[in-house]
Amino acid sequence: MQSRSHTVTVLRALFRFFVLVVAILWVPLALILDTSVFNDEVSEVSVTELSQEALLLCSAVLFWLLSARRPFGRGFYTLVAGFFSCMFIREQDAFFDLIAHGFWVYPALLMTLITLLIAAFQRRTIMPAMAAATRSVPFAYILVGLAILLFFSRVMGTGSFWELLLADNSVAALVKNTVQEGLELLGYILMLYGTLLFKRSTKLDPR
Does the structure show a pLDDT above 80 at 43?
Answer: no
pLDDT of residue 20: 96
Nearest Cα to Cα of residue 190 among 157, 152, 156, 155: 152
Name the least confident of 22-36, 43-57, 169-183: 169-183
Quote the crossing angle between the two packed helices 74-91 and 47-69, to the nearest 10°: 160
Residue type, 98: L
Other residues' Cβ atoms within 10 Å of the Cβ of residue 40: 16
Give pTM, 2 decimals: 0.91
Nearest-10 Cα torsion for 151, 187, 56, 65: -100
